[in-house]
Chains A and B, each alone.
Chain A
Amino acid sequence: MSVPLSQIWTVASYVIGQKLKGRPRYPLVLMLEPLFRCNLACAGCGKIQYPAHILRRHLSVEQCLRAVDECGAPMVSIPGGEPLMYPEIGPLVRELVKRKKYVYLCTNAILLGQRLQEGVFEPSKYLSFSIHLDGLGPEHDEAVCRDGVYEEARVAIGDALRRGFRVTTNTTLFDGADPARVRQFFDAMMDLGVEGMMVSPGYSYAKAPDQEHFLRRQRAHALFSAILERPRWRWRFNQSPLFLRFLMGKLDFECTPWGNPTYNLFGWQRPCYLLQEGYAASFRELMETTRWERYGRRSGNPKCRDCMVHCGHEPTAVDYTFGSWRGFRQAVVAAVTGRL
């Protein structure tokens, strides 16, 4: 695994602290969406279909920081939309780093080279660019519905690494993914020098144009088993090894929908990053008034039946790791031996 020790320590002490306080529900990663605007229109994305007057708007830095303080999670992921189109991204990231939040700036990297050139960011152990790449060139360009984006991202990754930034990748896999090609992609990312990779099956957004290529649970287990059964020693993942075992069908985790709460232009999104069933005005209201029993696979909610996405299940894996000796032992064994 490639998560830095200081970050593991921060997360572990936070989770144990929540347990000692007796909090049954706590956030792990704040998903902060300062805008919905994007410079791509990917077929699998359900995040950007809004009228122009919504796409033109964005949160202020003050609104973002209020949400961060209100939530209290030790990690902040900034997706969107494309966060590098957010005019206040530099000041926002600086403030988050000042607060010692581990920031994952999720970007398609089209604007990354330009922003680095402009000096918008400074390298920090708290800041990682999480580059969206869904495979090697042909697969990624097809997923994002534009030719040449993979190559742009590859160049930008090299640039960011040369400047001393932490760089990870995040990959969404859809039905029809070729395990051999995904393994080649992992090799290519390691050759590039990224710190670690994140991988997740896609979620079938009701508003995403492409509804036919999302993975159902059994097919997802088969695909991830084929990809990860004999992981190469050089592969490094920036996520819990137990989540990867869950993807392979070796562990059964229920969703933790409050684990990655989402804040955007409309407020605190119920119940999770993927489903959009309403908004709460405050984080407290979100946690206290959302009917959590309606979500997760065991609830019988058809929208949750096949979901295995990391934003709901990685918090479960982390809670299992730091909340039980058995989970801790399994995670340590996987991290030390590299076997999943």
Chain B
Amino acid sequence: MSGERSLEGWAPGAGDEMPLAEVIDLAFDYRGDVTVVLTDGRDLIGYVYNRDRDVTEPYLQLVDPTGTSHTLRYTEVRTIQFTGRDTAAGTSYEAWLRRKTEARPA
């Protein structure tokens, strides 16, 4: 993700400009845990590993830290917050080269 801004810490509110389906797409691409805020007021923390918006009832699938998988219809989701660490950020090739150079004896 070098050169890209991480979504880590982003917490879009319900009704923000971005449609929920797009927020879910971003959560699906995100390589960290998220907090799914449900319409019934509950929160669910985990990794979004799947979503399908091309079906009659679009859904997402999330695995929580205990390994339990949850399937949620888009209509059950109020918003998603990017609360977990972005594991694809901050590990650039350039950073490795820099560390390697710094580690070499002068």
* Chain A contacts to B: CB under 8 angstroms: 41, 43, 46, 49-51, 53-54, 57, 145, 206-207, 209-213, 265-267, 278-279
Would A211 and B50 count as touching, CB distance under 8 A? no
> Contacts A53-B65, A54-B47, A266-B49 hold; do A210 and B92 have CB atoms under 8 A apart?
yes
B44 CB within 8 Å of chain A = no
Contact flags B5-37 to A (C-beta < 8 A → 1, else 0):
000000000000000000000001101110000
Partner of A43, one of B63, B87, B96: B96
Would B49 and A51 count as touching, CB distance under 8 A? no
Subset of 26 A-B contacts with CB under 8 Å: A41-B91, A43-B93, A46-B88, A49-B31, A49-B88, A51-B31, A51-B32, A51-B47, A51-B65, A51-B87, A53-B47, A53-B65, A53-B67, A54-B47, A206-B1, A206-B29, A209-B88, A209-B93, A210-B93, A211-B3, A212-B2, A213-B93, A265-B49, A266-B50, A267-B50, A278-B28
Would A207 and B50 count as touching, CB distance under 8 A? no
B85 CB within 8 Å of chain A = yes
Would A51 and B93 count as touching, CB distance under 8 A? no
What's the Cα separation between A72 and B80 when bound, in Å? 39
Beyond A43-B91, A51-B32, A267-B50: 18 further Cβ-contacts under 8 Å? A43-B93, A51-B33, A51-B47, A51-B65, A51-B85, A51-B87, A53-B47, A145-B93, A145-B96, A207-B1, A207-B88, A209-B1, A209-B91, A210-B2, A211-B2, A278-B28, A278-B50, A278-B52
User: Hey, which chain A residues are within 8 Å of B93, CB to CB?
Assistant: 43, 145, 209-210, 212-213
Partner of B84, one of A51, A278, A279: A51
User: Hey, which chain A residues are within 8 Å of B91, CB to CB?
Assistant: 41, 43, 49, 209
Interface size class on chain B is 20 to 34
Closest chain A CB from B93 CB (angstroms) = 4
Would B96 and A49 count as touching, CB distance under 8 A? no
Most chain A CB within 10 A, of B33, B61, B85, B91, is at B91
User: Hey, which chain B residues are within 8 Å of A265, CB to CB?
Assistant: 49
Cross-chain pair count, CB within 8 angstroms: 64
What's the Cα separation between A212 and B52 when bound, in Å? 31
User: Hey, which chain B residues are within 8 Å of A279, CB to CB?
Assistant: 49-50, 61
Would B96 and A50 count as touching, CB distance under 8 A? no
Partner of A209, one of B32, B50, B67, B92: B92
What's the Cα separation between A54 and B65 when bound, in Å? 8
Chain B residue at minimal CB-CB distance from A147: B100
What's the Cα separation between A207 and B92 when bound, in Å? 10
Contact flags B77-101 to A (C-beta < 8 A → 1, else 0):
0000000110110011101100000
Closest chain B CB from A270 CB (angstroms) = 9
User: Hey, which chain B residues are within 8 Å of A46, CB to CB?
Assistant: 88
Closest chain B CB from A174 CB (angstroms) = 10
Would B50 and A49 count as touching, CB distance under 8 A? no
User: Hey, which chain B residues are within 8 Å of A211, CB to CB?
Assistant: 2-3
Contact flags B43-56 to A (C-beta < 8 A → 1, else 0):
00001011110000
Chain B residue at minimal CB-CB distance from A267: B50
Would B31 and A207 count as touching, CB distance under 8 A? yes
Closest chain A CB from B74 CB (angstroms) = 14
Would B49 and A57 count as touching, CB distance under 8 A? no
What's the Cα separation between A46 and B49 when bound, in Å? 15
